[in-house]
Chains A and B, each alone.
Chain A
Amino acid sequence: MNLLSVQDLQTHFIFRDIDHQLREAKALNKVNLTLNSGQVLGIVGETGAGKSLTAQSICGLLRPPAKIVGGSVTFQGRELLTLSEDEINTIRGAEIAMVVQNPRSSLDPLTQIGAQLVRLHQTHTGGPLAGSRKKALDMMQAVGIPDPEGRFTAWPHELSGGMAQRVLIAMALINEPKLLIADEPTTGLDVTVQAQILDLLNELVARFDMGCMIITHDLGIVAHYCDQVAVMFAGEIVEQGPTREVFLTPAHPYTQQLLAATPERLQLGVKSQLGGQPPDLFNLPTGCLSQDRCTLATEKCGAPPPLIEISKGHLARCHFVKPAEKGRSKSNE
Chain B
Amino acid sequence: MNFSHFIFRRTLMVIPLLVGVVFLTFMLVRVGGLDPVGLLAGPTATAEEFKMIREELGLDQPLWKQFVIYAQNVIRGDLGESWLSNRPVLDDIMARSLISLELLFWGIGIGTLIGVPMGLRAAFRPNGRFDQTTRILSLLGFSIPTYWLGLVMLFVFFYLLRWAPPGMGRISLMISPPDFITGSYLIDSLLTADWRAAHSALAHLILPVICLAIVSAAPIIKQTRAIALEVIASDSVRYARACGLQTRTVRSIVFKNSATPIITFVGTEITGLVGTMSLIEYVFAWGGLGQYGLNAIVRGDFTAVQGYVLTLALFSVLVFLVVDIIIAIIEPRVDLS
Point out residues on A near B: beta carbons under 8 Å.
59, 61, 85-86, 88-94, 97-98, 100, 102, 105-111, 119-120, 123-124, 155, 157, 171
Of all chain A residues, the one with the shortest Cβ separation from B242 is A98
Q: Are A123 and B239 in contact (CB under 8 A)?
A: no
Q: How far is the CA of A110 from the CA of B333 in the complex (A)?
A: 8
Closest 8 CB pairs of A and B: A93-B244, A92-B244, A93-B243, A106-B239, A105-B235, A106-B235, A89-B244, A155-B332
Residue from A94, A100, A123, A124 within 8 A of B235 (CB atoms): A100
B333 contact from A92, A119, A124, A155, Cβ within 8 A: A155
B234 within 8 A of A: yes
Mask, B87-111, CB within 8 Å of A = 1, is: 0000000000000000000000000
Residues of B bordering A, CB below 8 Å: 234-236, 238-247, 249, 253, 256-257, 330-333
Alpha-carbon distance between A105 and B230 when the two chains are bound, in angstroms: 14
* CA of A55 to CA of B238, assembled, Å: 13
Alpha-carbon separation in the docked complex, A59 to B253 (Å): 20
Quote the shortest CB–CB distance from A276 to chain B (angstroms).
32
Determine the chain B residues whose CB is within 8 A of the CB of A92 once the complex forms. Answer: 241-244
Chain A residues with CB under 8 Å of B245's CB are: 89, 93, 119-120, 123
Q: Are B244 and A123 in contact (CB under 8 A)?
A: yes
Q: Which residues of A contact B239 (CB under 8 A)?
A: 98, 100, 106-108
CB contact between A100 and one of B242, B246, B253 (< 8 Å): that residue: B242
Do A157 and B333 touch (CB < 8 A)? Answer: yes
CA of A91 to CA of B234 in the docked complex: distance in angstroms?
A: 22
CA A77 to CA B240, docked complex, whole Å: 26
Interface of B, helix, strand, loop or mixed by DSSP? helix
Q: Which B residue's beta carbon lies closest to that of A104?
A: B235
Q: Give Cα distance in the complex from A155 to B333, angstroms.
A: 8
Q: List 5 A-B contacts (CB under 8 A).
A: A97-B243, A98-B239, A100-B235, A102-B235, A120-B243
Within the complex, what minimum Cβ distance (angstroms) separates A58 from chain B?
A: 11
Instruction: With a 10 A CB-CB cut-off, give which of B257, B332, B333 has the most chain A CB atoms.
Output: B332
Which of A93, A105, A123, A171 contacts B236, CB < 8 Å?
Answer: A105
Smallest CB-CB separation from A95: which chain B residue? Answer: B244
Q: Which of B234, B253, B256 contacts A105 (CB 8 A)?
A: B234
Once bound together, how far apart are the Cα atoms of A286 and B236, in whole Å? 39
Measured between alpha carbons, how far is A106 from B241 in the docked complex, in Å? 11
A61 and B236 in contact (CB under 8 A), knowing A92-B243, A110-B256, A124-B244? no
Task: For B256, list chain A residues within 8 Å (CB).
Answer: 110
Closest to B253 in A: A108
Which residues of B sit under 8 angstroms from A100, Cβ to Cβ? 235, 238-239, 242
Is the CB–CB distance between A85 and B244 below 8 Å?
no
* Chain B residue nearest to A123 in the complex (CB): B245
Nearest residue in A to B240 (C-beta to C-beta)? Answer: A108
- Chain A: minimal CB distance from B228 (Å): 14
Q: Check if B244 sits within 8 Å of A94, measured CB to CB.
A: yes
Q: How far is the CB of A159 from chain B (nearest CB, A)?
A: 12
Q: In this complex, what residue of B is CB-closest to A90?
A: B244
B residues in contact with A61, CB < 8 Å:
238, 241-242
Q: How far is the CB of A66 from chain B (nearest CB, A)?
A: 13
Closest to B330 in A: A110
Q: Which of B240, B244, B330 has the most CB of A within 10 A?
A: B244
Chain B contacts for A108, CB-based, 8 A: 236, 239-240, 253, 257
- Extra inter-chain contacts (15) besides given A98-B242, A119-B245, CB under 8 Å: A86-B247, A88-B244, A89-B245, A92-B241, A93-B244, A97-B243, A100-B235, A100-B242, A102-B235, A106-B239, A107-B236, A107-B239, A108-B253, A157-B332, A157-B333
**Which of A85, A88, A110, A155 gathers the greatest number of chain B CB atoms within 10 Å?**
A110
A105 CB, nearest partner CB in chain B, Å = 4
User: A102's closest neighbor in chain B, by CB?
Assistant: B235
Q: With CB as the reference atom, state the residue of chain A lying closest to B237.
A: A108
Contact A123 B257, beta carbon cutoff 8 Å:
no
Q: How far is the CA of A220 from the CA of B221 in the complex (A)?
A: 50
The complex places the Cα of A185 from the Cα of B320 at a distance, in Å, of: 41
Q: Which residues in A have their C-beta under 8 angstroms from that of B241?
A: 61, 92
Q: Which residues of A contact B331 (CB under 8 A)?
A: 110
In the bound assembly, the distance between CA atoms of A86 and B241 in angstroms comes to 11
Residues of A within 8 A of B333 (CB): 109, 155, 157
Docked Cα-Cα span, A105 to B246, in Å, equals: 20
Report the separation of the CA atoms of residues A105 and B333 in the bound assembly, to the nearest whole angstrom.
Answer: 12
8 Å CB contact of B244 from A91, A155, A157:
A91
